[in-house]
Amino acid sequence: MPRSRKSVTEIQMPSDVRESCRLRKVVCRLAASALSDPSDVADVELAVGEAFSNAVKYGGRNCKVSVKVEMPSRRKVAVEMAYPGSKFDTTIRYPQDVLNADGGFGRYIIDKIIDSMEYCFEDDQTTLRITKRSH
């Protein structure tokens, strides 16, 4: 029986929040080829939008955000996003002062809708890897 090959697509996006819609559309089209449930694809779209917004807000200006979309199997999608950024405490997933916060819920939302969320900090670069599986 032939083994399926892992599909990988790499995208370089300007660090500009106006590019979020375009990135979400591209990732959704790719994710739909691996995830059969439309709600799983919608979860990936929301997570990518939140992650990209954070990359733009906390990453460097006038830079690129590198996005890699992998489909290692027919029922799994992984999205890796890398951008300039400093290390931060990844254990905090929501604002400490929820009533007075003007943001800070993105990582909390991602954590609740995605199967795994991992950060790597290396050489002044932040890399986030999120994974979604069809259930």
**pTM for the predicted model, two decimal places:** 0.89
pLDDT by residue (tens digit) across 61-104?
789 999 999 998 889 999 999 999 999 888 877 776 767 766 77
pLDDT band at 4 (very low <50, low <70, confident <90, very high): low
pLDDT at 82: 97
* Residue ranges covered by each domain of the chain: 7-133
On whether the CB atoms of residues 26 and 111 are closer than 8 A, the answer is no
The amino acid sitting at 89 is D
User: Is the confidence at residue 53, as pLDDT, over 50?
Assistant: yes
Which run of H or of E encompasses 76? strand 76-84
Does the pLDDT at position 32 exceed 50?
Answer: yes
Strands (E), the chain: 7-14, 64-73, 76-84, 116-122, 125-133
CATH homologous superfamily, domain 7-133: Histidine kinase-like ATPase, C-terminal domain (3.30.565.10)
